Every structure is written in C-alpha cells, then in structure tokens.
Amino acid sequence: MEPRVLVLDGNQRAALAVVRSLGARGLWVATGETSTPSMSGVSRYSQKSFMYTDPAEDPRQFFNDVLWAIESFQISFLVPVSEASAYAVLAFRHELPEHVVLPLPETEAVEALANKNELFRLAQRLKVPIPDSIFCDNAGEGYEALSRIDHYPVVLKPFKSKIFLGDSILPTHVIVAHSKQEAQEALRQHGFFRYPFTIQSFIEGAGQGVFALFEHGEPICYFAHRRLREKPPGGGVSVLCESVPVDDLLRRQAEMLLREANWTGVAMVEFKVDHEGKGYLMEVNPRFWGSLQLAVDSGIDFPWWLYLVSTGQQVPNGDWHPSRLRWLMGDIDRLYLVLRSPREVYSTRRKLMEIFHFFWPSMKTRHEVNRWHDLRPFWYELRQYFNALKS
C-alpha cells in the first residue's frame, strides 16, 4: 500500500511547510482543519481535505473525526502540528490503527519536557540555567510565594500551554507582572492558576531557539534562526528571519535535555539570552514551529527527515546554507503597527526607514506562503486577511 500522510491544523504556516515538503517528495498528502477550505488544503500538494471538531472544545469527537479520515483516506502517517491537536491525539493514541505511524515520542517523554514545572526541575538537575524559580501547585501557594518576593517584574508561567481536561482543552498564557498587586490579580482572574505553575524572575534579552530532530535520544540534526522583524514590533511572532549557525553552548544544553528524555521526533528548545550572553531555558515545544519553511529552504528538510526517521529509513547527510524568509501578511501588519506608534516610540525618520526596508527586502529573501509554484495558499490567506478587515 502506498504511504499516505494526514497533516492536521491546515491553517498553520508550519502545516503548509509540511504539506509542501512531503508532497514535493511524491507522497500522497491530505489535510485537516476545523474549517474548510484551509490554507494548506488548497495547496497543489494536498490531495484531499476535511473538517474536524475543534480539539480544544471536544478532544474525543476530534479524535473520532481523525479516525474517520484515517480510514476513509487509508492514512499511514499522521502529523499533528498544533499543541492542541498533538495533546488530543496523544491522549487517545492507543486507539490508532496499528499501521498508522505517529511521529511523536511516548507520552511520558512529552510530559517530561512539555510540563514546564518538570522541565525546569530537570534543567536544575542537569545544571542548565533557568531563571530564579518558585514552583507552585495552585494559586494558594502562589499567594504565599508572592509574599516573599520583593523584585519585580516576575513571570507567571503555567505548567502547560494547553491543559488537557479530558472533555476539553484549557488554553493558558504566560503573564508578566510588574508588581505584587498585578501578580495577585492575575492569580485571582485566571482559572488556569488552579493548576501548577512557576513564578520566575524576568530575563531581559533576546529569544533564541534550537530546533532539533532526534531518534531514540540521539540527535539527527539541528537548526537555528535569527528574528529580524517581529509582530508586534516589541516582540512576538517572526515575520522576517534568517538562518544562522547553531550556538554551541545552547546546542549542548538542548541536547542534554532531549537525551535525558530519550526524545524521538522534532522539538523546539527556547532560550532567552541576556545582555551578558548567558542563555536561560524558557520552554521546550514538542512540535513544528512557525518558521519551519526557513529550515526547509536552508537545506534542513525537517518534515521529510522526520518521515524518514519515523518509517525506519536512512536520513541523508545535509548541511544548512544561509537563507532568509518573510511572512508577507504578518509583515504588513507589523508595518501598520509601526506607523500607528507614537513618535516617542518610533520617530518620523525611523518610520520612513521602516517603510524603506519593507519595500526593499534583500534579494536573498523568499516568501513563506506566496510561492509561484503553489500560489493558491497565498490567495486563500489574502482573502482571509481582507475578510478579517471587513469584520
């Protein structure tokens, strides 16, 4: 039977990179999303697409929908892209047909790294630097801990980005509190602080990620990039980035963590590097990342190599080469935010320079979504963008 791939979360840019990578290698690919069509579903490389229940609202029905697609499309390889779909699939993975390959490590390995409280404890044992941390099991312990803190801001970091509750998935987010009152209000306001979380010191610096592919605790490849422009401008998702050599120290620290978890599959290990050059572990995400297409363009084809590793095939030798990637619609949003900023933040001269850099990108820059050989995802994204503006 020919291999058939199902990629979930079709509106994610990382999902589009997976569909294009595997489809260009001749694999039959289908896509799924909570709506149809989706950005990846209209790609020339997607043979079929379908709509499923939102995993955050009903994980059980979502998984039933995925099982239907597996049977209907004769799927042999399943790729969740978002955290919500990955956690929902992991919760019911024992129900997957035996012939279906899920390129995720065992649930225990995911828990060891995706659970931030456990991750930071592991990092402490391995002597990987983390911010000063107080581990709390609930809001009550948080109030008590805040009474002992006299330096702000602090970061309130839930133990998971998505908390699986059985019949739903609870989203969380990190909160930066600039005073004890702000921190106490956050504990009162947000229900996810009923679950474990960490209070950490705030690290000033730049984010750096180490992206990796592992097989049974052994590294296959690494990749790194530098963010050149972000949305919002003060720090957020990358809209312009370029590939860079992997920092040796951060790579070694990421490797210690992934080896300890006997990791298999892809992972994104995030650090914050302070002004003195010291890196602090922020989190580990057991999934593909937003700028995945940059790695593929740079010669590190993570989706294809993950497929090869997961199906027992040999991964070819490969070296990265410099490349630059631009998410055009995100960059337009960023420019709009810059032009709306007060003069104290962006002077008139600086705004004019931002306009110049927007319209005169480097010749090395490739667009993430809009590609001549596969333009339909861009037209889809453009329609969604203008529909959002109208509403």
Domain end residue (candidates: 86, 102, 118) = 102
Burial 31-41 (b: 16+ CB within 10 A, else e): bbbbeebbbbb
Sheet of 365-367, strands arranged across: 225-231, 237-243, 324-326, 365-367
Give yes or no: residues 305 and 282 share one domain. yes
We report the CATH number of the domain holding residue 303 as: 3.30.470.20
CB-CB neighbours of 227 under 10 Å: 18
Give yes or no: residues 259 and 351 share one domain. no
Domain end residue (candidates: 286, 307, 326) = 326
Residue 115 lies in a domain: no
Residue 114 lies in a domain: no
Residue 144 lies in a domain: yes
> How far apart, in whole angstroms, are the C-alpha atoms of residue 388 and residue 391?
5
Give yes or no: residues 313 and 342 share one domain. no
Give yes or no: residues 214 and 309 share one domain. yes
Domain end residue (candidates: 166, 185, 201) = 201
Residue 126 lies in a domain: no
Which residues, other chains included, contact 284 with Cβ-Cβ below 8 Å and sequence gap of 6+?
113, 114, 119, 257, 258, 267, 268, 269, 270
Give yes or no: residues 14 and 78 share one domain. yes
Residue 110 lies in a domain: no
Cα 186 to Cα 138, 158, 182, 191, 307: the distances in Å are 13, 12, 6, 9, 42
Residue 229 lies in a domain: yes
We report the CATH number of the domain holding residue 161 as: 3.30.1490.20
Residue 127 lies in a domain: no
We report the CATH number of the domain holding residue 13 as: 3.40.50.20
Query: pLDDT truncated to tens, each residue of the chain (391 aa)?
Result: 789 999 999 999 999 999 999 999 999 999 999 999 999 999 999 999 999 999 999 999 999 999 999 999 999 999 999 999 999 999 999 999 999 999 998 888 888 888 999 999 999 999 999 999 999 999 999 999 999 998 899 999 999 999 988 889 999 999 999 999 999 999 999 999 999 999 999 998 888 889 999 999 999 999 999 888 989 887 778 899 999 999 999 999 999 999 999 999 999 999 999 989 999 999 998 889 989 999 999 999 999 999 999 999 999 887 899 999 999 999 999 999 999 999 888 999 999 999 999 988 776 799 999 999 999 999 999 999 998 888 7
pLDDT tens readout for residues 2-24: 899 999 999 999 999 999 999 99
Residue 360 lies in a domain: yes
Give yes or no: residues 294 and 354 share one domain. no
Give yes or no: residues 196 and 245 share one domain. no
Give yes or no: residues 274 and 192 share one domain. no
pLDDT tens readout for residues 235-254: 778 899 999 999 999 999 99
Q: What is the pTM of this model?
A: 0.92
Give yes or no: residues 266 and 299 share one domain. yes
* DSSP 8-state assignment for residue 285: E
Give yes or no: residues 153 and 255 share one domain. no
Instruction: Quote the number of domains for the chain.
Output: 4
User: Which residues constitute the domain of residue 84?
Assistant: 4-102
Give yes or no: residues 161 and 232 share one domain. no
Task: Considering only CA atoms, give the Rg of the chain.
Answer: 21
